[in-house]
Amino acid sequence: MEISTGTPRFTSYTLLTPRSRIPYCIRLRSLLHGSMRSSAPRLQHPLRCISRKAAASDGDNRTNVVDRRDVLLGLGAGAAAAIGAPRRALAAPIKAPDLRDCHAPEDLPEAITGATNCCPTYDGTGIVDFELPVSAGSSPVTRVRPAAQLVDAEYVAKYEKAIRLMKDLPADDPRSFEQQWRVHCAYCDGAYDQAGFPDLEIQIHNCWLFFPWHRFYLYFHERILGKLLGDDSFALPFWNWDAPAGMALPSIYNVSSSSPLYDPKRNPAHQPPFLLGLDYSGTDDDASGISRDNQIDENLRIMYRQMVSNAKKPQLFLGQPYRAGDDADPGAGSIENVPHGIVHFWTGDPREANQEDMGNFYSAARDPVFFAHHANIDRLWHVWRSQIHNNNNGGFDFADPEWLDAAFLFYDEEARLVRVRVRDCLDMASLGYAYQEVPLPWLDARPTKPASPGTPARALDALPATLDKTVRVAVARPRASRSAKEKEEQEEVVVVEGIQVSDCSRFVKFDVLVNVPDGDAESGMGAAYCAGSVALTPHAEKRKEKGAMMKTVARFGVCDLLENIGADGDEMVVVSLVPRCGGELVTIGGVSIGYAK
């Protein structure tokens, strides 16, 4: 895989002071605070990748006019290069953290009272290296993870018993539920420094560690539950939100408030069978919004985009390289933003200050449904690797040793501290588990072709800019009308760079659309133009510089999209950045077109 450090330059303008506007989703949050859904005002459905709300604010475009020559020149610097984040590090993998050095998270969300300690129990015991659970040659798979909506009463009783036993362990037992959620908190809220880089945290989100780290996390969690039950075939359920039958909070987590699978800190409006929208931005559908069937169709189209058209290369699906010495958050893969981040936010409780539990990384794993959510993420990695990109001759994994040898620490079912490496988790079967086979209805949910592609809305904005309104910029394409072979070798990618979030304790989301015509925003006809979304789950971070708590980059594969909307021969495209939630916290540095191998 090729990474260059080319960074396109952009015309810069002095920004007008961003208007202080409360984002729609935050207003909803305070409206819901302390009240149930029935008493909340009815709200428009703002989603479907185009919102009436955003369109309504288009009328007050600032009058920055982009000098087209500057845009073209600016893009020339790096656009033709393959894409990647700048690096300052030697090529070495992220090392397992030193547990003796675990410290309080750098910047926990303000409203968390009392020092929340994410650090796991550590009594100085030695570390053992991971070994696969079964030897080659024997039938390895002993655990089959079922879809949560398909399990029977016997399974639920067993699962409840296991979680109850885990919750009943002494709090300082590394296998206790209390310790289990801390493991997640510590790896995502800056509790560990990178070995040799005391000013850099270890962050396993928004980068290529996302899938493997969570795979191991679930692996050990599941084995601990099995051990407590004395049943080594016990397998976690998965929340099958990619199929209509699973597009609600799984009811097994909501049986009664005395169930150990229940968590009171969930959105009260989103109890089963309330339909999950994979484009959720903080507001729920109402009678004038889209119908249930349309929402399901839309969910399936989102799944198709995130799994297929947006996920043609490892870096686009798995996330960006992150090596020793790198800053956190080089960029998430397609699924990590959507639906991963969306489902976290949708599940968390808007009455809580930080959308606890699921809506904030520090608290997410306090909700047992976290593990079912991530089992589905893990399953989709397996589906992508074995069914979507299986013709790629091994090209579905990164070959970089800095990925394969990245290491983490987990406690196993015997309370031993185990060092694992990414390379150990790539073959799911050798880890001894599999997933129940269920249909993949999104596999043929291709976006429809716009009947007659209209004229793109005019690009009147310049970058950098704050997303307190829709921002539209013209972007040059270094190569138009490439051959099918060229497209297969190198995916064309819209790169949204210099994304800075000034307060990463708040959920932010924006959509990225290519050549969307004026007016399609209001009519909800923009889906075919939607390259994807950035959806960032709140978490603590080491503050990077004044005013910027989080910096990241987003990448969207657009070969299929450009063909579908008839723009493959164009030398310029208009990229619209449409804020859906917390846009006034987000600044965008630049947009360019690059290529991913």
Among 344, 379, 477, 551, binds ligand C2O (CB under 6 A): 344
Q: Cis omega (within 30 of 0) on the bond before 350?
A: no
Q: Does 266 bind ligand C2O (CB under 6 A)?
A: no
**Are the C-beta atoms of 401 and 204 separated by less than 8 Å?**
no
Q: Does 205 bind ligand C2O (CB under 6 A)?
A: yes
CA atoms within a 13 Å half-sphere pointing along the CA-CB vector of 270: 27
Those residues whose C-beta lies under 8 Å from the C-beta of residue 313, and which sit 6 or more positions away, are: 491, 557, 596, 597
Q: What is the C-alpha separation between 59 and 442, in angstroms, rounded? A: 36
CB of 205 to ligand C2O, least distance (A): 6
Which of 130, 177, 205, 408 is catalytic? The answer is 205
Among 45, 270, 313, 340, binds ligand C2O (CB under 6 A): 340
Among 99, 364, 406, 440, binds ligand C2O (CB under 6 A): 364
Confirm or deny that 214 is annotated as ligand binding: yes
CB of 332 to ligand C2O, least distance (A): 11
Which of 130, 177, 210, 214 is catalytic? The answer is 214
Which of 221, 344, 389, 539 is catalytic? The answer is 344
The number of beta carbons lying within 10 Å of the beta carbon of residue 177 is 22
**Are the C-beta atoms of 108 and 336 separated by less than 8 Å?**
no
Confirm or deny that 344 is annotated as ligand binding: yes
Collapsing DSSP to helix, strand or coil, 73 comes out as helix
Those residues whose C-beta lies under 8 Å from the C-beta of residue 563, and which sit 6 or more positions away, are: none
Collapsing DSSP to helix, strand or coil, 366 comes out as coil
CB of 482 to ligand C2O, least distance (A): 36
Known catalytic membership, residue 389: no
CB of 66 to ligand C2O, least distance (A): 37
CB of 361 to ligand C2O, least distance (A): 6
Strands 433-435 and 143-145: parallel
Which of 10, 177, 238, 361 is catalytic? The answer is 361
Confirm or deny that 205 is annotated as ligand binding: yes
* CA dihedral (302, 304, 305, 311) positive or negative: positive
Known catalytic membership, residue 361: yes
- With CB under 6 A as the rule, give the number of residues binding ligand C2O: 9
The Cα-based distances of 407 to 89, 352, 403, 420, 493 in angstroms read 17, 34, 9, 5, 30
Q: What is the C-alpha separation between 46 and 283, in angstroms, rounded? A: 7
| Binding positions for ligand C2O, 174-203, rule CB under 6 A | 184, 188
Q: Does 475 bind ligand C2O (CB under 6 A)?
A: no
**What residue numbers does the annotated binding site for Cu cation cover?**
184, 205, 214, 340, 344, 374
Q: Which residues are catalytic?
A: 184, 205, 214, 340, 344, 361, 374
Annotated binding site: 184, 205, 214, 340, 344, 374
The binding site for ligand C2O (CB under 6 A) comprises 184, 188, 205, 214, 340, 344, 361, 364, 374
